[in-house]
């Protein structure tokens, strides 16, 4: 019987676990603060930012938000970043990606104070992660690790195949899973669009992580018996629903479900974990900046 992994339940436990830490910090006048910066008016980005603000409110993190006009010069965005770097009430912040074409996102990331970079994308934080001394683990990879932990899925000695080598999911997750650590010690294969015989790589894995952005690319024939399947993908496909679309993962759930021992659904798998880990990183940022140990 395949276990359907409940990402909402695990995320909810993580959020509950943060409540005490947030209160401890608030009691000494250091309520954690998270800011979101949105440049332009992309509707999907607007939705993501609203969700992040709502998440903050629910757990007692102080939400801040800055809108920057989509046609503003880069300097205006940089000024916003400088202000947030200097604002002691903001312990962590992020600039919602994608940014308009005239903005160099890498330069934006470099300007963020690494101590406030709760996405974990600043080169200093990437370097620390690779060195095995992460300050902030990027939210989605960390969320995947927390799911595995919550379901007692041991990574030690496991063969893990990650499909996707992005800066935000595949690469950091591979780095985390190969680390000499209780939640690492895996043998990791990272696949991408030039990988030869993808099915062979996924079939031989104990744990398959799909972070591709191609709807239902990975089907049951590509999954080994009793493997664990973690589907990071979120893809909108046309459907006969009220909204005219539905969300599907990078894994064909029905056929993979027949082979897997455990599988994450889409929605309700990795997505809520990404959101919870952003709150976690914000609390961690506050605890580090305020020098108050809240034992996360």
> Binding site residues for NADP(+), as ranges?
164-166, 234
**Closest to 169 (Cα-Cα) out of 147, 151, 142, 149:** 142
CB of 163 or CB of 228, closer to ligand NDP: 163
Output the DSSP codes for the chain. -PEEP-HHHHHHHHHHHHHHHHHHHHHTT---EEEEEEES--HHHHHHHHHHHHHHHHHTPEEEEEEE-TTS-HHHHHHHHHHHHH-TT-SEEEEPSPPPTTS-HHHHHHHS-GGGBTT--SHHHHHHHHTT--SS--HHHHHHHHHHHHTT---TT-EEEEE---TTTHHHHHHHHTSSSTT---EEEEE-TT-S-HHHHHHT-SEEEE---STT-B-GGGS-TT-EEEE---EEEE-SSTTSEEEE-SB-HHHHHTT-SEE--SSSSHHHHHHHHHHHHHHHHHHHHHT-----
CB of 30 or CB of 56, closer to ligand NDP: 56
CA angle 209, 295, 48 (to 5 degrees): 45
**Catalytic-residue membership of 206:** no
Q: How far is the CB of 156 from ligand NDP (least distance, A)?
A: 25
Radius of gyration, CA atoms only, the chain:
19
Closest residue to ligand NDP using C-beta atoms: 166
Among 52, 116, 201, 284, the active-site one is: 52
Among 55, 96, 117, 231, the active-site one is: 96
Q: How far is the CB of 105 from ligand NDP (least distance, A)?
A: 12
Q: How far is the CB of 90 from ligand NDP (least distance, A)?
A: 23
**Catalytic-residue membership of 52:** yes
Q: How far is the CB of 107 from ligand NDP (least distance, A)?
A: 19
CB of 120 or CB of 170, closer to ligand NDP: 170
- Residues forming beta bridges with residue 66, ordered by sequence position: 37
**Catalytic-residue membership of 46:** no
Q: How far is the CB of 77 from ligand NDP (least distance, A)?
A: 21
CB of 54 or CB of 192, closer to ligand NDP: 192
Among 113, 117, 119, 206, the active-site one is: 119
Annotated binding site: 164-166, 234
Residues that bind ligand NDP (CB under 6 A): 140, 163-166, 168-170, 191-195, 198, 211-214, 217, 232-235, 270-271, 274
CB of 114 or CB of 164, closer to ligand NDP: 164
Residues labelled as active-site residues:
52, 96, 119
């Amino acid at each position: 019987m395949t276990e359907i992994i409940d990402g909402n339940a695990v995320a909810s436990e993580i959020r509950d676990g943060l409540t005490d830490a947030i209160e401890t910090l608030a009691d000494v006048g250091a309520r954690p603060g998270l800011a979101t910066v949105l440049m332009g008016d992309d509707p999907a980005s607007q939705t993501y930012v609203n969700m992040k603000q709502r998440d903050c409110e629910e757990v007692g993190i102080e939400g801040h938000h800055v809108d920057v006009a989509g046609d503003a010069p880069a300097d205006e965005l940089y000024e916003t970043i400088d202000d947030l770097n200097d604002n002691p009430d903001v312990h962590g912040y992020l600039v919602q990606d994608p940014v308009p074409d005239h903005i160099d996102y890498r330069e934006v990331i470099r300007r963020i104070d690494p101590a406030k970079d709760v996405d974990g994308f600043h080169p200093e934080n990437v370097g620390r992660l690779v060195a095995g001394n992460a300050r902030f683990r990027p939210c989605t990879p960390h969320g995947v690790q927390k799911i595995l932990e919550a379901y007692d899925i041991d990574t030690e000695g496991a063969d893990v195949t990650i499909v996707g080598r992005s800066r935000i999911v595949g690469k950091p997750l591979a780095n985390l899973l190969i680390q000499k650590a209780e939640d690492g010690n895996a043998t990791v294969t990272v696949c991408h669009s030039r990988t030869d015989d993808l099915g062979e790589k996924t079939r031989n894995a104990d744990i398959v992580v799909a972070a591709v952005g191609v709807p239902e690319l990975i089907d049951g024939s590509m999954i080994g018996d009793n493997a664990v399947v973690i589907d990071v993908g979120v893809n909108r496909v046309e459907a006969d629903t009220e909204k005219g679309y539905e969300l599907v993962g990078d894994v064909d759930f029905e056929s993979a479900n027949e082979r897997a021992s455990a599988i994450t659904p889409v929605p309700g798998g990795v997505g809520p974990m990404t959101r919870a880990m952003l709150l976690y990183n914000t609390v961690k940022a506050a605890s580090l900046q305020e020098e108050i140990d809240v034992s996360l």
